[in-house]
Amino acid sequence: MGNVQSDEAGLWNRSINGDGEAFRVLYARHRDRVFRHAYRLSGDRHEAEDIMATAFLELWRRRANVRIVEGSILPWLLVTTTNAARNRRRAAIRYRRLLDALPRTDEADRSAQDLSGAAQDILDQNVARALGTLSVQDVHLVSLVVFEEYTISAAAAVLNLTPGAAKTRMHRARQRMKNALSDEHRATTSATPVLEGELS
């Protein structure tokens, strides 16, 4: 583990100094996990691809301020991915409101349905909605601890929390997600016990 962490820190230092190949190695190493996280938050593959691209763009744009935790840039990337997803969600809401204010036509109705992702998998939508009930900081915490399996202490370091505060927030966030999942229609939640088990 120490060698991997040292390797990652070395790659990041080379990236900051303008080594494009080092940055490409880091991108290849983390893109799948960043995509999965973006997909959990959005429930839409195309949206997740855009969010992932935004996160890596921010990684480069804000490279002087990136914090390495336990020898990895991944926690910083995951937090940035959450922020990018929330920003896109707010933009989509504003766009939907604009569409709603316009005279309705059959074509406009179809466009609005496409925007809402009506054809997406029910489980993905349920998870995205459950995450949407949490505060920004709690989404960061759940993402790091539950989905990416970082320790409470590591997640607390990323989020500038004490381990005790992180543990308390984690407990409340798990309960809120369980409640949100249980409020979904019973007929469409046959696959949700997998997630609920992870949150136990």
**φ and ψ of 72, to 5 deg:** -135, 150
The yes-or-no verdict on residue 194 having pLDDT over 50 is: no
pLDDT, tens digit, 9 for 90 and up, residues 112-168: 445 444 434 555 667 777 888 888 888 888 888 887 788 898 888 888 899 999 999
Q: What is the pLDDT of residue 120?
A: 43
CA distances from 6 to 33, 69, 141, 148 (A): 20, 12, 25, 20
Q: From CA 194, how far away is CA 141, in angstroms rounded?
A: 19
Cα→Cα distances 44→35, 90, 128, Å: 11, 15, 10
Residue 100: pLDDT band with limits 50, 70, 90:
low
Whether the pTM exceeds 0.75: the reply is no
Q: Read off the tokens for 118.
A: 């009506």
pLDDT value of residue 31:
95
Q: In which band, very low, low, confident or very high, does the pLDDT at 30 lie, cut at 50, 70 and 90?
A: very high
Query: How far is CA 68 from each of CA 21, 30, 79, 174, rounded to the nearest angstrom?
Result: 19, 14, 12, 26
